[in-house]
């Protein structure tokens, strides 16, 4: 069943965004009384569409909450070309990331003009919202403003940086050392990797350098690789 | 260093494809005597470029073989829209797939006209070759002709199908049961999944139904998810 997120609830009805209403009426061509799921404050509601001059979304019932041990998975990524960025946001959302922090990195060729940041943020948020709907999440990942390296210092949790310099400490050893964490923070470098200076800085901040094995992966593959493994480790 | 695959060796020189020569001279704008790696019969050679009327690729030395336990990882996928297909081929190559078998599946909306198959195959092979160069593989994954379900019957190895119907037997349980295999065969269904009939057929052929957890992933995410985990399990 199609799922949408709503920020506004009036009694037994939800308000959906114009985009969502367009999707319901024009893309999905839903019929009167057709059912959808609406997520509101991390609760899933079974609703039905009422077509009229304006489309109404009427609550039928609240669906039982599927309680799950919610870990915080924070992904720190460089600014990348639009396509790679979009791709990471979509896939990381599918794979359960809870927070994405774009960070300005030395070797990242992309520079984001402050004037353009709002527009970008809108685009990124939309991608994560749609991927959350598609993958039936009840929480849309948070994308923070573009940050600087130094901002990572205050972050608490199990922390590692994907490093091609590191040869000993691989991801397997790392996760064996750090089990049942509440928050895990993963730093992924740009093409060409993080500079030694940046890695040293992260180590000072308490990040561990971790190897992902001998494979040479494109930067946009790395987050998926790590998130897939975290999902695997959480299987019961 | 840039890596290329060659099929032709004349004494101390390699022949490269027109595409590769174009890449060397026009895209990379390499200089005379610049070094590249050439893979020939799964051996890596350090070579240098000699610019002239025609570009020569001269062997300097053979690089030591990095012996690794080579598992056969076979990926069976449906025919998908071009973009998703290309994407799976590229990423699966990065993540070490050794063979890809496109199979006609009941719910796959894509039908490939025999007349177009050669052209497609060319395109797919090119994607895998380039991804192999980029990710420094010594073996380009094999893409077989488009097959039918019944052709999977004769395949030997550890075999599973990614199933959303399966609730008990998840990937973690599966890999715990089947360790140090020589060949692993992974079947991924199309959007909407495999039909029950198809799953039953696979079970008859000795495939196990395996759940990837509760996450709802797009079809093109599934192969990456599984291959990432297989890489992780092979980390020492």
List pLDDT tens digits, range B36-84.
999 998 899 999 999 988 899 999 999 987 756 678 999 999 999 999 9
Bridge-based pairing of strands A183-187 and B56-62 is unpaired
Answer yes or no: is pLDDT of B114 > 90.
no
Partnered with residue A61 across adjacent β-strands are: A46
CA A7 to chain B, closest CA, distance in angstroms equals 23
pLDDT at A53: 87
pLDDT at A110: 84
Q: Does A174 touch chain B (CB under 8 A)?
A: no
pTM of the predicted model, to two decimals? 0.87
CATH of domain B72-233: 3.40.1280.10
Mean pLDDT for B125-138 is 94
Q: Does B94 touch chain A (CB under 8 A)?
A: yes
Domain residues of chain B, as ranges?
Answer: 3-62, 72-233
* List of residues 6+ apart from B17 with CB closer than 8 A: none
- pLDDT bucket at B111, cuts 50 / 70 / 90: confident
Q: Which of B225, B230, B233 is the best mutation test for A, with the most CBs of A within 10 A?
A: B225
- Between the alpha carbon of residue A97 and those of residues A135, A181, B156, B161, the distances in Å are 12, 15, 37, 26
CATH topology of domain A3-62: Ribosomal Protein L25; Chain P (2.40.240)
Q: Does A140 touch chain B (CB under 8 A)?
A: no
Q: Does A144 touch chain B (CB under 8 A)?
A: no
pLDDT at A68: 66
Ranges assigned E (strand) in chain B: 3-5, 8-10, 13-15, 35-40, 43-50, 56-62, 72-78, 99-103, 142-143, 158-162, 183-187, 208-210
Q: Rounded to an integer, what distance in angstroms lies between the CA atom of residue B11 and that of residue B18? A: 20
**Regions of chain A where pLDDT drops below 70:** 67-69
pLDDT at B180: 80
Chain B residue with Cα closest to A231: B213
Inter-residue contact B147 to B154 (CB < 8 Å): no
Crossing angle of helices A114-134/A82-94, nearest 10°? 40
Task: State whether A221 and B134 contact (CB < 8 Å).
Answer: no
Inter-residue contact A167 to A211 (CB < 8 Å): yes
Task: State whether A136 and B216 contact (CB < 8 Å).
Answer: yes
pLDDT at B67: 59
Mean pLDDT for B184-206 is 95
Q: Rounded to an integer, what distance in angstroms lies between the CA atom of residue B12 and that of residue A112? A: 48
pLDDT at A57: 95
Inter-residue contact B94 to B130 (CB < 8 Å): no
For residue B223, give the H/E element and its range: helix B222-233
């Amino acid at each position: 069943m199609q799922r949408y997120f709503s920020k506004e609830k009036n009694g037994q009805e939800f308000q959906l965004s114009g985009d969502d209403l367009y999707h319901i009426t024009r893309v999905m061509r839903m019929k009167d009384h057709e059912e959808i799921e609406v997520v509101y404050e991390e609760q899933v509601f079974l609703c039905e569409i009422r077509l009229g001059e304006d489309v109404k979304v009427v609550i039928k019932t609240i669906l039982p909450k599927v309680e799950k041990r919610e870990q915080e998975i924070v992904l720190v990524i460089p600014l990348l070309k639009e396509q790679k960025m979009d791709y990471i946001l979509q896939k990381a959302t599918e794979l359960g990331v809870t927070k994405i922090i774009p960070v300005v990195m030395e070797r990242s060729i992309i520079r984001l003009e402050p004037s353009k940041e709002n527009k970008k943020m809108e685009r990124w948020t939309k991608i994560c919202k749609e991927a959350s709907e598609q993958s039936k999440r009840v929480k849309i990942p948070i994308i923070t403003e573009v940050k600087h390296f130094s901002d990572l210092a205050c972050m608490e949790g199990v922390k590692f940086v994907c490093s091609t310099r590191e040869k000993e400490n691989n991801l397997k050893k790392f996760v064996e050392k750090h089990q049942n964490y509440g928050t895990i923070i993963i730093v992924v470098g740009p093409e060409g990797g993080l500079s030694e200076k940046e890695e040293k800085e992260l180590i000072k901040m308490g990040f561990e350098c971790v190897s992902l094995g001998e494979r040479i992966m494109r930067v946009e593959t790395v987050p998926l690789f790590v998130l897939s493994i975290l999902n695997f480790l959480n299987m019961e």
